[in-house]
């Protein structure tokens, strides 16, 4: 009952925020950044509601110990031998839930909340980013950087949510020229500075991201691999 009440309260908050965003008069008073923050809050609320809903609907069917041991042995021997629903049932015997949090354009973090052990955490890499979602403030920053002929690193730091490739494409569209090289032959050109910061926090190298993307090593003109 407590979980359902919490979910109802979150849904009320979510609806109130969306009502403001969908009200033309209210929305007109908001800055682009405020609108972005409100949508982020809606996303956070929806994520929490989804988590609570998963807890609320968690299977409560008891698995006798001999059957549980047998299932664990099957999982250890051949994970694919059991249907997903059965794997989920076994996992939920030991797991309270999994918390997902958006961290950057391409990265979500996850935390597996175990019943008996310390929580496990890590990140999920998303190949598809949000390169088309530019706010007016972002475009204004881009144009200012173009007017000043800012160097590559300054551009990337000033627009940390966008990759070098996305910035290059948008500058061609908005400024009539590419203020940074597109760099589409390089994996790091598709990563944002926020992406870089997150993988550094987790001690993950770009080679591991490349493996997730199915990328292969290439060579610079000087022969060095990257």
Q: Compute φ and ψ for 40, nearest 5 degrees.
A: -65, -40
What is the model's pLDDT at position 101? 82
Q: How far apart are CA 72 and CA 87, in angstroms?
A: 9
What is the model's pLDDT at position 133? 78
Which is nearest to 213 in space by CA: 153, 108, 125, 112?
125
What is the model's pLDDT at position 50? 82
Structure tokens at 16: 């109130």
Q: How far apart are CA 192 and CA 189, in angstroms?
A: 8
Which is nearest to 160 in space by CA: 106, 113, 110, 123?
106
Residue spans per domain, the chain: 1-57, 136-213
Look at residue 120 and give its three-state secondary structure: strand
Q: Compute φ and ψ for 149, nearest 5 degrees.
A: 50, 45
Q: How far apart are CA 159 and CA 145, in angstroms?
A: 10
Torsion, Cα of 122, 88, 11, 103 (10° steps): 10
Statement: the pTM of the whole predicted model exceeds 0.85: no
The CA–CA distances, whole Å, from 135 to 22, 87, 141, 212, 213 equal 18, 43, 10, 30, 28
Q: What is the pLDDT along the chain (226 residues), one digit of tens a residue?
A: 466 778 888 889 888 998 888 888 888 888 888 888 888 888 888 888 887 777 666 655 556 667 777 777 877 777 777 787 777 777 777 777 778 888 887 788 888 888 777 888 888 877 666 666 788 888 999 999 999 888 988 998 899 888 888 888 899 988 899 988 887 667 677 788 888 888 888 888 777 776 655 544 444 445 555 4
What is the model's pLDDT at position 112? 83
């Amino acid at each position: 009952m407590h979980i359902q009440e919490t979910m109802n309260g979150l849904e009320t908050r979510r609806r109130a925020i969306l009502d403001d965003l969908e009200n033309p008069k209210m929305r007109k008073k908001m800055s682009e950044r405020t609108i972005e923050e409100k949508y982020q809050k809606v996303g956070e609320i929806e994520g929490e509601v989804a988590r609570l809903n998963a807890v609320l609907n968690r299977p409560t069917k008891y698995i006798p110990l001999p059957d549980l041991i047998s299932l664990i042995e099957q999982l250890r021997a051949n994970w694919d031998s059991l249907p997903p629903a059965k794997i989920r049932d076994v996992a939920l015997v030991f797991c309270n839930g999994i918390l997902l949090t958006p961290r950057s354009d391409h990265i979500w973090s996850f935390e597996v909340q175990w019943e008996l052990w310390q929580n496990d955490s890590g990140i999920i890499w998303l190949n598809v980013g949000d390169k088309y979602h530019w706010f007016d403030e972002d475009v204004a920053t881009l144009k200012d950087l173009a007017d000043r002929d800012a160097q590559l690193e300054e551009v990337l730091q000033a627009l940390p949510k966008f990759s070098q490739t996305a910035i290059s494409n948008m500058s061609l569209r908005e400024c009539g020229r590419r203020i940074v090289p597109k760099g589409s032959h390089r994996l790091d050109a598709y990563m944002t500075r926020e992406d870089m910061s997150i993988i550094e926090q987790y001690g993950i190298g770009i080679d591991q991201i490349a493996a997730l993307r199915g990328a292969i090593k290439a060579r610079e003109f000087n022969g060095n691999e990257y």
